[in-house]
């Protein structure tokens, strides 16, 4: 069994919201929860979040969806230059996975894993 971490972060790579799901859950199912309560100007996501419904929801909030289309979908324009900034989320995951307990998931219970994940996420907000 595996666990997926869904993460929303600010433009500087600091985590804002974390959601845990079983590994077989599709990424797109968690997108509305990740976006709720935020007023972003841009939403950068990978191809796993490409859907017309999500793009419409993002644009209804007044934000720009910067999501590359999946290969099986009709190509729609997206800002490739702005998409390069998506590495902030990858760096955020990298900082969280510096903690061995997160990288290898020793905890049996999701609540224990989430607690340590929140602790590690809060430590990323502390300046060096």
Main-chain phi, psi angles of 51, to 5 degrees = -155, 150
| Per-residue model confidence as pLDDT tens digits over 14-70 | 999 999 999 999 999 999 999 998 888 999 998 889 888 999 999 998 999 999 888
pLDDT score of 104 more than 80: yes
pLDDT recorded at residue 1: 67
Using DSSP's 3-state secondary structure scheme, residue 65 falls into: strand
For 65, other C-beta atoms within 10 Å of its C-beta total 21
* Strand partners for 64: 42
Please compute the mean of the pLDDT values over residues 93-110 and round it to a whole number. 90
Using DSSP's 3-state secondary structure scheme, residue 80 falls into: helix
pLDDT-derived band at 79 (thresholds 50, 70, 90) equals confident
Q: Which DSSP state fits 108? A: S
| Per-residue model confidence as pLDDT tens digits over 106-119 | 888 999 999 999 99
List the domains of the chain with CATH numbers: 3-123 (3.30.420)
For 67, other C-beta atoms within 10 Å of its C-beta total 23
């Amino acid at each position: 069994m595996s666990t997926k971490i869904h993460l929303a972060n600010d433009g500087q790579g600091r985590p804002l919201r974390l959601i845990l799901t079983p590994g077989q859950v599709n990424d797109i199912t968690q997108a509305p929860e990740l976006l709720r309560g935020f007023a972003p100007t841009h939403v950068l996501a990978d191809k796993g979040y490409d859907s017309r419904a999500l793009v419409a929801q993002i644009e209804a909030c007044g934000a720009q969806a910067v999501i590359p289309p999946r290969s099986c979908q009709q190509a729609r324009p997206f800002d490739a230059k702005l998409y390069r900034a998506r590495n902030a989320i990858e760096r955020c995951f990298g900082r969280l996975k510096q903690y061995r307990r997160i990288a290898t998931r020793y905890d049996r219970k999701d609540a224990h894993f989430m607690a340590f994940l929140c602790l590690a996420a809060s430590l990323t907000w502390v300046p060096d």
